[in-house]
A and B are shown apart, each in its own frame.
Chain A
Amino acid sequence: MMNIFNTRNLISITLALFTSVAVAAPLSYDLKPQKIAEDTWLLEGKLEDFTLHNGGNIVNTAFIVTDEGVIVIDTGPSFRYGREMRQAIEQITDKPVKHVFITHSHPDHYLGNQAFKDATIWALPETGRQIAENGNAFAENMYRLVGDWMRSTESTMPNKVMNLKPLSLGKHTLTFMALTGHTGSDLVILDHATGVMFASDMVFYQRALTTPHTPGLKIWLKEIQQLRATEHKLLVPGHGPMVNDGRAFDQMEAYLTWLDNTLTEAADAGLSMTEVIELPVPDQFKGIALTQREFVRTVAHLYPKYEEAAFN
């Protein structure tokens, strides 16, 4: 009989133990800023849902390095992410971070705020209100979903209310659009020096959009048309790869329209929620990450309103 405790096996067992410990030890987002335009860097998140593995790095954040300081757009899902983002910025410039813009109240976009307390953290008034109201519950939920990555993270309020006046820093002038489609309070930022539009979660591309706080799909659709009509060279979605043409808008319009029609027709046919969840998602959307899962969530968020409308 073979002795499993012979020397060779013992060595490999020890090695195996050792390596698994080594892999588990340091949590790191390993952020790699990608230069997408002059002075402009993108930290692109994964096309995934929150997991213990990805630590919530499913979100796009960005920064603009100007002669007079750095502008940050969203601070990521955790204090750790915020710290790592700052380190990533320091690798590129020694200019201080002056302005941080929080595009909306969802936890993956602002829970890194603790790492930017020394800067001005701007947000729309309604975004601030939503963070004040839901921030702790959002943070708690993130601890549940991604675990230790969240260590020491606390929901931290933006410290300045946005007034929508253009802001200039160095040679970059930013203008702002206050929209509502995704959360009721969504900030879109346009950099006139580079033509980059930071669309926040008003635009998802190749990753299914999320609907827990949308005021309505028709409102969202209308605002997508507004964004399409706004001149820009490069579009950075809140989730998914950037594009320099209308593809992301096309996808948003097609999916929002399909969702709205499907839920309307389902309610008019008297379908129950469990039946709606089982409706097939058309092939054209199958290539979009997490479509089926997000469809189920969307039915839970929005179908009651469609049912309500079908009673009348």
Chain B
Amino acid sequence: MKRRLIAMMVSCLVSFPLMAAQSDDPLNSPMWDYMRNIFIGEDAFVFDDKVVVDVPVFAEDPTQAPITVDASAYSGQIQKIIAWADLNPIQHIFTYFPHPDVIPRISLRIKVQQGTAVRAAVQTRDGVWHVGGQYLDAAGGGCTTPSMGNANPYWESHLGEMQTRLFERGETGRYKLKVIHPMDTGLADGIPEFYIQQVVLRNEAGEDLARLELSQPVSENPVISFDVRNAGQKHIIWMRDNGGNEFKQTL
């Protein structure tokens, strides 16, 4: 009895400091548990370096910080990818549903309010979430700064105009597109939220190859690139914003 008590005391002494010092989050973010709860819930998850989140060390422009999420290690096995920034006032960046025919790699630019962990959680067909992430340093203010468009009425007459190009990349192809849209977060004084919520890349047969749900942190005049396997095919890009405006272009 006495020995067991001592063992308990020792284990308390040893394990308490360990628990206090170490979070299982490799990025040591104060918001990890909260974010996990929101986006993953009670599902099984692992931290996984094969889910690559690529960001610069610091965001030179906190309204246009580039990120790339590359889950190609799980090509063909993915249900969805959720990306978020822990310390943004609106954390969710996008949810991406890649068809097995696309390479699950996507690049775009985001607004960041301060230095934050940027995450991508990839749910594979077995239901497990594979979580990758990277810390992005920033001076901040990206989410509460009025969009440039707010000071310049150019966008009003060009809303939804797209520029697109297919780049041959060996066996595969990359679509890069830019669309004119203010992507207002609703967090800048007196400017209501106005942003593209859905982006879909379809093939000629009308099948969704890449379905993307965007949130407010995606940067103004979004530049997005998708990698596709079958670059020879004709594709259609379709978008809708929270004002109900639809934009469509054949690639």
Interface residues of A, Cβ cutoff 8 Å to B? 141, 144, 269-270, 272-275, 277-278, 296-297, 300-301, 304, 307-308, 310-312
Among B26-34, B53-61, B92-100, the stretch in contact with A: B53-61
Check if B167 sits within 8 Å of A270, measured CB to CB: yes
Residues of A within 8 A of B67 (CB): 274
Check if B55 sits within 8 Å of A270, measured CB to CB: no
Residues of B within 8 A of A312 (CB): 163
Residues of B within 8 A of A300 (CB): 56, 59-61, 64, 66
Smallest beta-carbon distance A208→chain B, Å: 14
Residues of B within 8 A of A144 (CB): 139
Can you give 13 contacting A-B residue pairs, CB < 8 Å? A141-B139, A144-B139, A269-B169, A272-B68, A273-B109, A274-B68, A296-B57, A296-B60, A297-B60, A300-B64, A301-B61, A304-B64, A311-B163
Total A-B Cβ pairs within 8 A: 58
Q: Bin the interface of chain B by size.
A: 20 to 34
Binary A-proximity of B52-79 (CB < 8 A = 1, otherwise 0): 0011111111001011100000000000
Residues of B within 8 A of A273 (CB): 66, 107, 109
Bound-state CA distance A310–B177 (Å) is: 11
Listed residue (A297, A301, A304) with the most chain B CB atoms within 10 angstroms of its CB: A304
Bound-state CA distance A141–B62 (Å) is: 13
Q: Does B80 contact A (CB under 8 A)?
A: no
Bound-state CA distance A269–B169 (Å) is: 8
Check if B165 sits within 8 Å of A311, measured CB to CB: yes
Smallest beta-carbon distance A139→chain B, Å: 14
What are the 3 A-B residue pairs with the smallest beta carbon separation, nearest first? A270-B167, A272-B107, A273-B66
Bound-state CA distance A198–B54 (Å) is: 41
Residues of A within 8 A of B139 (CB): 141, 144
Smallest beta-carbon distance A13→chain B, Å: 26
Interface residues of B in 209-251 (CB under 8 A from A): 223, 225
Q: Does B181 contact A (CB under 8 A)?
A: no
Check if A310 sits within 8 Å of B165, measured CB to CB: yes
**Which residue of B58, B68, B109, B165 contacts A270 across the interface (Cβ within 8 Å)?**
B165
Smallest beta-carbon distance B251→chain A, Å: 12
Bound-state CA distance A120–B184 (Å) is: 44
Q: Does B174 contact A (CB under 8 A)?
A: yes
Residues of B within 8 A of A274 (CB): 54-56, 66-68, 107
Bound-state CA distance A273–B178 (Å) is: 13
Q: Does B164 contact A (CB under 8 A)?
A: yes
Listed residue (B57, B60, B163) with the most chain A CB atoms within 10 angstroms of its CB: B60
Residues of B within 8 A of A269 (CB): 167, 169
Residues of A within 8 A of B59 (CB): 300
Binary A-proximity of B138-173 (CB < 8 A = 1, otherwise 0): 010000000000000000000000011101010000
Residues of A within 8 A of B109 (CB): 273
Smallest beta-carbon distance A134→chain B, Å: 14
Check if A307 sits within 8 Å of B176, measured CB to CB: yes
